[in-house]
Amino acid sequence: MPTTPTVAIGIGAAGARMLSELEEFVSEEGSQNQFHYIAIDSNESDARTLSPDTAYPISLRVPETPDEREHNIEEFSYLRSRTNIGTQGTDRTRSVARYFIDNTETYTRLRDQLERQITDFWDERRSAIEEDRVHDLHIWLIHSLGGGTGSGTFPLVAAILQRITADMDVTINGLGSLPRLDGLEADDQAPDDTQFYANAYASLYELRKIVEQDPSDDPLEITLEHAEYDDDVTAESLSIDRNPFDMYWFLGYDEESEEASYRKRMNEIAAVNVYYYANKSSLENFPDNQEYQDNVFYGISASELSAPVDLARRYVELGSEIDACDDLIEVLDDELAGHKQSRKYLEEVRDTQLDLEDVDIEFDHVREDVVRASQDRARGLKLYEILGDDAEFDIDAEVSELLSEVEENIRDPELTNPTASLLSPSELAAREEASTEIDSEAVRNRDDYDPDPVFEPRTVVEWFYCDQLQKKLESELREHQFNDVVENVWSNHAREGLEEEYGHLANADPDRRWTNGLESWLIDRWDELDEEIQQISWNKIRERRLEGQQKQLDEEYQRLSQLYEKYQTLDDVRKEAHSKRETVKKVLDGDISQLKALIDDKSDRRTTIQNQRQTNVTARQDRRESLASFQEDDNHVGLRMQKLDALTLDTLDQATSITSLMSRGFITEEDAANALSTLLQGISDPIHDDIRDFQSRADEILGVFTHPSNIEPPTEYDVSGLLDLEITGDQDIADIINELDYYDQEMIVDSQQGFSLWLLKWFTPITLTNTSEFGTIHKYFIDDETDISAQLGGNISDEDVAARFAYPELFSPEEKPEERKITTPFEN
C-alpha cells in the first residue's frame, strides 16, 4: 500500500515540534516525497526554528502601528478591553491568536499561501504517481489545545481549509495535544499553571460546537471582523455548514512535565499516528468497523517495543576503539623507547671526550668499533695525503668512506624509530585527535618493516672523525719543523732589532710570530742591508759581509715561507675539521632537543590515549549494563540483549529486525513476550479520567506498526512472530490482543524500521463529560453557586475562563460563555 500524500500543518510552538518529529519519522521511513509540511506561528522565530527545515513557514502578523491595534481592541467583539497585543507571540491568549489571523496584515496572505501550498503539492503528487493508486489527499491540523497560537487559531484555520479544499478529494484530520488534568475533582491540589486548562476547556467547547454542526442546521459563522477595513475580503464571515474534520485525535499530554524525553515521546506518538494513517489500507473505512464510522473524536496513545541496536553498535565500536587505543599505546611505547634510547646515545656521542690514544673508554650506548674506526682513520692519515703536490684531501669524502665501513654497526635496532614505517606524524596526530575512530589494523600493519634511525648515521661518524682529525693535526702542527725554524731564526736576529721591534710576540705561537712580525722583519732587514750596500760600494770587504747577511736572510725567508705554506695547509684542514665538528655539535644539540620534545609530546599523547581508553572502558561497561537490562521509560521498552561478547558490527549489519536478533539468540522470545504484554496492558485511555457511566466507556482499538518480518519471520529464523509469542503456558500475546474491543490483521501497517514495533491504541467514543479537562471544569463553570477557582485555584475565576473563548459567535445568545448561561453539559 503506497503512502497517501499528506500535508501536515503545525500551528504554534507545540504544532511545530510535532511537525519536526513527524518529518524525522517520515525520513527514516523513506517517504519524504509523500509529505509536505507547513508551519504557522505568531512567533516568526519559532516558525522557522522549531519546525523542520523542509517546512514552509507562514508567520502570522498583526498591524504594525499600535494605534490600529488599539482601535481593533475596541472594535473587535472577541477582544477584551484589557487585551495586550504585541507583535510576536500571543502570551497564550486565544483571542489574541485569532486576531493574528483576523487582521488586514494576515488573513488574505494566509489563505492564499495555504491554497497555493496545498494545490501545488497535490498537483505534483498526482502527476508523479499513477492515478489509480491515489486515494485522496490527507491534511492534518496539528496543534496544542492548551496553548495560545495553536489553540486560538485552529477553528479559523479549519474553516479556511474547508473552503479552499471544497472541490478537492481530501480528508481533513485534526490532532490536538490536550493538557491532562487527571482526577481534578478528587484532588485537593490545584494545578501549577491554570492557563493551559482554562484554554483547553474553551478549545474543547468551541471544537465540540464545530464538530457537532449538522448540515441541516443553519451554518455557524466565524466573523471576519477585519473585513470592514480590508477591501480584498469580500465576505464578512466564514460559514461552517458541516464538520470540517473527518477525524479529530486527542493526545493526552502532561503539560507540566519538564522532561525532554517525555515531550519527545509524546511528539513521536503524534508522528506515528499521522504516518500510520497515511499508510493504512481502506482509509475510507478506518478503523474497518461500521460501529465506529460516525465517531469523530478519538483518544490516542501508543507504546514502542525496540531492540537497542544503536546502543549495541556503540558497545561493539567501543570495544574496537579500546583495542585500537591499546595498539596505539603500544606504538607510542615503542616510539618512546626508541626516542629515549636515541637521546641517550646522542648525548653520549656529544659528551664523549677522546684523545688520540684513548682505546679503553667504556661506552653505555655508543658502539666502540665505530669510535675505533674513527680513531684509526685519523691516526693513519699520512701528511703527504694533505701536502703532496697532487693531494686532494677532502674531509667529506673521508667521512663518506668511513661511514660505508661502520654504517652496519650504527644501524643498531635499539637506535631506530620503530614506527617509522607505520604512521606518518600527520596520520598519528589525526588518529589521536579522533581516537574514537582509531583503526587498529592501520596502526599495527608491520608488513615490510624496515626501520630507519631517528638521526643521520653520518652525523655520528662525522663527529668522531672530525674530533680525531682535529687532534691529529693539532699534534702534527705542534711537532712541525716550522716551529723550530721560527724559534731559531728569531733567536738569531733578536739582537739585531727584531726583539726591540717585535718583542711583544716573543711568547706568541710560531704562526703569529711569523705572520705578524718575523716575515715582515726579514724583508725589511734585507732591504736595509741592500741600501747600506749601495752606500758602501767602495768598501768591498764590508760589502761582501753584508751580502752574506742578505743571503742568509733570503735563505731563512725562503725556508720559512715554504715551511709555513705546508704548516698553513695543515692548519686549514684542522680549522675545517674544527668547523665541521662545531656544526655537527649544533646538529647533535638540535637532535637531542628535538628528541626531548618528541618524548614529552608522545608522553602527553600516551596519557591522552590512556585517558581516552579508560573513558571508553567506562562507557562500554555502562552500555553493557544497559544492554543487559530492560530500558523502560515513557511509553517505551527497550529489550535487553544477551551474548554480548558475540556481538560484532557484521552481525548487527546483517540483522534486519527484532525477530532476526531473536533467531541469533541475542534477544529471547520470553523477554519479547513479557515486554509486549506489559506494553499492551499498560496503554490506558489518556482522555477519560472521570467515568461516571460505565456504558460510556471508550472502546480500545489496536493498530500495529512494524517491519513485516517481526509479524511473520522468515522460516529460517525459526522463531515466532512477535504477536504470536507465548507468555506463559496457557497464555500468549494473541490472547491479550483478543481481549481488546477491535483488532484484525488489516490493522497492521508495514514499517521500514525493523528494530521497532509500535502499538497504537485509539479510544472511542470520547465523552467529554468523563474528563477533568472539560467535564469537571464545565460543571463548576456553569454552576452559579460556585466559582471555578474552587477547583483550579485562586488565581483564576469564572470571568477569566470566559475570557479564554476566542469565538463567542459560535454560541447562541442563551449559552454565550461570558454570560455563563450554559445549562446542559455535553453528552456522548
SS3 string, 499-516, reads HHHHHHHCCCCHHHHHHH
Closest-CA residue to 742 (of 287, 300, 249, 299) = 287
Q: 290 pLDDT exceeds 80?
A: no
Which residues, in sequence order, are CB contacts of 263 under 8 Å at separation 6+? Answer: 17, 257
3-state class (DSSP) for residue 144 = strand
Closest-CA residue to 376 (of 397, 354, 396) = 354
* pLDDT tens digits along 520-535: 999 999 998 888 888 8
Q: 610 pLDDT exceeds 90?
A: yes
- pLDDT of 767 reads 87
Q: 817 pLDDT exceeds 70?
A: no
Please report, rounded to a whole number, the percentage of residues in the chain having pLDDT higher than 70. 86
d(CA 826, CA 815): 13
**Cβ atoms 175, 120 nearer than 8 A:** no
Please report, rounded to a whole number, the percentage of residues in the chain having pLDDT higher than 90. 46
pLDDT band at 163 (very low <50, low <70, confident <90, very high): very high
* pLDDT tens digits along 683-698: 988 888 866 655 667 8
User: Which residue do the cell numbers 534477544 mark?
Assistant: 667
Closest-CA residue to 702 (of 657, 758, 756, 750) = 758
pLDDT band at 450 (very low <50, low <70, confident <90, very high): very low
- pLDDT of 185 reads 63
- pLDDT of 184 reads 67
C-alpha cell of residue 703: 493498530
- pLDDT of 9 reads 98
pLDDT band at 288 (very low <50, low <70, confident <90, very high): low
For the entire predicted model, the pTM comes to: 0.76
- pLDDT of 146 reads 92
Average pLDDT value for residue range 39-47: 86
Closest-CA residue to 319 (of 561, 662, 613, 654) = 613
Average pLDDT value for residue range 214-221: 87
**From the CA atom positions of the chain, what is the Rg in Å?**
49
* pLDDT tens digits along 219-276: 899 988 887 666 666 678 888 989 999 999 999 988 777 788 889 999 999 999 999 9
3-state class (DSSP) for residue 384 = helix
What is each CA distance from 105 to 39, 81, 149, 283, in whole angstroms? 18, 21, 16, 38
- pLDDT of 435 reads 43
Question: Nearest-5° angle of CA 176, CA 177, CA 180?
Answer: 130
d(CA 148, CA 13): 9
Q: 469 pLDDT exceeds 80?
A: yes
* pLDDT tens digits along 713-767: 999 999 999 999 998 767 889 888 988 888 888 889 999 999 999 999 999 999 8
d(CA 304, CA 300): 14
What is each CA distance from 511 to 114, 487, 555, 567, 613, in whole angstroms? 105, 11, 19, 9, 68
pLDDT band at 792 (very low <50, low <70, confident <90, very high): confident
d(CA 291, CA 741): 11
CA pseudo-torsion sign 205, 211, 214, 220: positive
Q: 822 pLDDT exceeds 70?
A: no
Output the average pLDDT for the chain: 84
